[in-house]
Amino acid sequence: MNVKKQISDFFVERNVSLGDNFVQLHLYTHDKLPEIDPGQFVQIQIPSSIHGWLRIPISIHDAEAEKGKIKLLVQKVGDGSRWISSLHEGAKLNMVLPLGRGFSWPEISLRQEVEDPKNAAFRALLVGGGCGLAPLYYLAKCLEKEGLPFDILVGARDKERLVLANELAEIGPTGICTEDGSVGIKGLVTDHPLWKGVAYTHIYTCGPTPMMKAVAVKAKELKARCEVSLENTMACGLGACLCCVTPDAQGHNVCVCTEGPVFDADELGW
Ligand X SMILES: Cc1cc2nc3c(=O)[nH]c(=O)nc-3n(C[C@H](O)[C@H](O)[C@H](O)COP(=O)(O)OP(=O)(O)OC[C@H]3O[C@@H](n4cnc5c(N)ncnc54)[C@H](O)[C@@H]3O)c2cc1C
**For binding to ligand FES (CB under 6 A), which residues are involved?**
234-237, 239-244, 255, 257
51 binding partner (options ligand X, ligand FES, none; Cβ < 5 to 8 Å by kind): ligand X
Residue number with CB closer to ligand X (142 or 224): 142
Whole-number Å distance between alpha carbons of 14 and 28: 10
Per CB under 6 A, 234 contacts ligand X: yes
Residues 44-103 that bind ligand X (CB under 6 A): 51, 56-59, 73-75, 77-81
Residue number with CB closer to ligand X (8 or 75): 75
237 binding partner (options ligand X, ligand FES, none; Cβ < 5 to 8 Å by kind): ligand FES
Min separation Cβ 232 and ligand FES, Å: 8
Size of the site for ligand X (CB under 6 A): 21
In DSSP notation, 160-185 reads GG--SHHHHHTTS-EEEEETTSSSSE
110 binding partner (options ligand FES, ligand X, none; Cβ < 5 to 8 Å by kind): none
In the Cβ-directed half-sphere of 77, how many Cα atoms lie within 13 Å? 7
Instruction: Sort strands 41-44 and 92-99 into parallel, antiparallel or unpaired.
Output: antiparallel
Min separation Cβ 229 and ligand FES, Å: 15
The residues with which 9 forms a beta bridge, in sequence order, are 94
160 binding partner (options ligand FES, ligand X, none; Cβ < 5 to 8 Å by kind): none
Residues 98-137 that bind ligand X (CB under 6 A): 131, 134
Q: How far is Cα of residue 153 from the mean position of the Cα atoms in its chain?
A: 13
The single-letter DSSP state of residue 116 is -
Binding residue for ligand X, selected from 49, 109, 112, 233, defined by CB under 6 A: 233
Residue number with CB closer to ligand FES (39 or 155): 39
Residues 5-44 that bind ligand X (CB under 6 A): 41
- How many angstroms separate the Cα of 5 from the Cα of each of 43, 84, 146, 248, 258? 11, 22, 25, 26, 12
Residues 241-270 that bind ligand X (CB under 6 A): 261
Whole-number Å distance between alpha carbons of 187 and 172: 22
Min separation Cβ 138 and ligand FES, Å: 22
How many residues are recorded in the chain?
A: 270
36 binding partner (options ligand X, ligand FES, none; Cβ < 5 to 8 Å by kind): none
142 contacts: CB under 8 Å, gap ≥ 6: 38, 105
3-state secondary structure 4-58: CCEEEEEEEEEEEEECCCEEEEEEECCCCCCCCCCCCEEEECCCHHHHCCCCEEE
Min separation Cβ 112 and ligand FES, Å: 38
Min separation Cβ 216 and ligand X, Å: 18
In the chain, the amino acid numbered 265 is: A
User: Quick check: bond before 261 cis, omega within 30?
Assistant: yes
Residue number with CB closer to ligand FES (7 or 242): 242
The residues with which 229 forms a beta bridge, in sequence order, are 206, 262
Under the rule (CB under 6 A), what is the footprint of ligand X?
A: 41, 51, 56-59, 73-75, 77-81, 131, 134, 231-234, 261
